[in-house]
Structure 1
Amino acid sequence: MKTTKYLRIAALCTLLLALARPGQAQIFPKSYINIDWQVNVPLGKSFADKASGWGMNFEGGYRITPAVAVGPFISFHTNLQNIDRRTLYLNDGSALTTNQKHAVFQLPFGATGRYSWLNNSIFQPYVGMKLGACYSQFSSYYYVIKQYENTWGFYLSPEVGVSIFPNPNYRFGLHLALYYSYATNSTNMLTYKVDNLSNFGLRVGISF
């Protein structure tokens, strides 16, 4: 599965960043970088409705003031759903009886902004917003066949989180965040219709 490949690449990049990190307070002054593993829970009517941990988030920002930072982000996630054997009556008048596995792969990217407090303390909370585009692939696997549709949409994701630095003078610590995301991607594949993608999730990772 493509998500497994992405997870391996992301883990390797994280390890290389940690090994290459110089012994100083911060890699880039007036900036932050987060690398997160994430759990994603689909909300509402969804093509694949099972929560999963098959995803990661990467973002960075430059502090234009001590409290405000802006920068780019990219993340990816896959959610799955097993569907029991059933008969689908298709638009062309034919019928298909099969079990299925649905998958939704999401790849949002764009700009992120955040406002943070207590920037010289161990616990540094913030609120943030991500805006951008979202590529998604809706897939249905049945028998030895994969039917899929690629779509693009607008992406919006508010979040609240905290960065935890055991030594505030040395910016390397833990990152925790809760997020909601909404994307305008839609599909009308087989007998399934989805008008948008809404998700709730948790991110856990490192911050520096």
Structure 2
Amino acid sequence: MKTAKYLKTLACCVVLLAVALPGKAQLIPNTYINVDWQMGVPLDNGLADKTSGWGMNFEGGYFVTPAITVGPFLSYQTNLESIDRQTLDLGDGAALTTNQKHALFQLPFGVASRYNWLTDSIFQPYVGMKLGASYAELSSYYYVVRQYTETWGFYLSPEVGVSIFPRPDYRMGIHVALYYSYATNEGDVLVYRVNNLNNFGLRVGISF
């Protein structure tokens, strides 16, 4: 998808910029930036329920207090699933016999907040919450045809993680997090119905 390609290009640019930064430098004082690879596990979403590593997460935050950060986030996740050949009853006497490939593309964005501990140590754990909007694209591919639905919803995602800085005086480290997400997106594709989107997963990336 074009959106995913653009986000991957952005991720490469951010990583190159991070590598080029001096040891103690930050783009803006009292901030953090994370760029993560993301693995998503759908929870009975009704479409494309296979675990996928086709995702990324971008976020940043400002330390409004020594422990609390607030800032923007944007992430994306694509899940795919192959459906064996079957006959679908489309109603009004219409039917379709075909195999399919289902795709679920999610693009949430909004505000991320965190409560951080041990901000001067090598291991800096936190708990966080993301709130915002969620764009989702529900697709079914069969033969040379693609049928899809676009939908919007409200997004909520609690998260627990840790940033690891091997050298505390060098603001470049590793970020690891576990998350759960819930979005109110609803939509139909062929005979398939999506009623809310639930996922959990893993994020691993860089923090600076």
Which TM-score band (shorter chain)? over 0.9
Deviates more, 1:4-13 or 1:34-43: 4-13
- 8 Å contact kept, 2:182–2:197: yes
| Count of residue correspondences | 208
Aligned counterparts of 2:19 and 2:165: Cα–Cα separation in 1 = 19
Aligned counterparts of 2:173 and 2:207: Cα–Cα separation in 1 = 5
Aligned counterparts of 2:112 and 2:99: Cα–Cα separation in 1 = 40
Query: What is the CA deviation profile of residues 122-160 of structure 1, one whole-angstrom value per residue up to 9, with x for unaligned ones?
Result: 000000000000001000000000000000000000000
Identity of aligned residues (%): 70
Q: Is 1:84 aligned with 2:69? A: no
Aligned counterparts of 2:77 and 2:169: Cα–Cα separation in 1 = 33
Give me the TM-score of the superposition, normalised by structure 1. Answer: 0.95
Give me the TM-score of the superposition, normalised by structure 2. Answer: 0.95
- 8 Å contact kept, 2:46–2:192: no
- Alpha-carbon distance, 1:25 to partner: 4.1
Q: 2:118 maps to which residue?
A: 118
Query: What is the CA deviation profile of residues 47-83 of structure 1, one whole-angstrom value per residue up to 9, with x for unaligned ones?
Result: 1111111110000000010100000000011000000
- 8 Å contact kept, 2:15–2:35: no
Within a 5 Å distance, the mapping from 1:33-112 to structure 2 comes to 33-112=33-112
Q: 1:154 maps to which residue?
A: 154
Q: Is 1:205 aligned with 2:205? A: yes
Query: What is the CA deviation profile of residues 85-128 of structure 1, one whole-angstrom value per residue up to 9, with x for unaligned ones?
Result: 00000133300000000000000000010001011110000000
| Runs of 4+ residues over 3 Å off in structure 1 | 1-4
Aligned counterparts of 2:129 and 2:15: Cα–Cα separation in 1 = 27
Could you say if the C-alpha distance between residues 178 and 26 of structure 1 is closer, same or farther in structure 2, counting changes exceeding 3 Å?
same
Q: 2:32 maps to which residue?
A: 32
Q: 2:2 maps to which residue?
A: 2
Residue type at the aligned position of 1:85? R
Aligned counterparts of 1:19 and 1:200: Cα–Cα separation in 2 = 30
Q: Is 1:183 aligned with 2:192? A: no
- 8 Å contact kept, 2:80–2:103: yes
Residue 12 of structure 2 aligns to a residue in which SS? helix
- 8 Å contact kept, 2:118–2:125: yes
Aligned counterparts of 2:46 and 2:40: Cα–Cα separation in 1 = 13
Residue 22 of structure 1 aligns to a residue in which SS? coil
- 8 Å contact kept, 1:3–1:77: no
- 8 Å contact kept, 2:126–2:161: yes
- 8 Å contact kept, 1:161–1:178: yes
Aligned counterparts of 1:15 and 1:120: Cα–Cα separation in 2 = 23
Could you say if the C-alpha distance between residues 121 and 23 of structure 1 is closer, same or farther in structure 2, counting changes exceeding 3 Å?
closer
Aligned counterparts of 2:165 and 2:73: Cα–Cα separation in 1 = 22
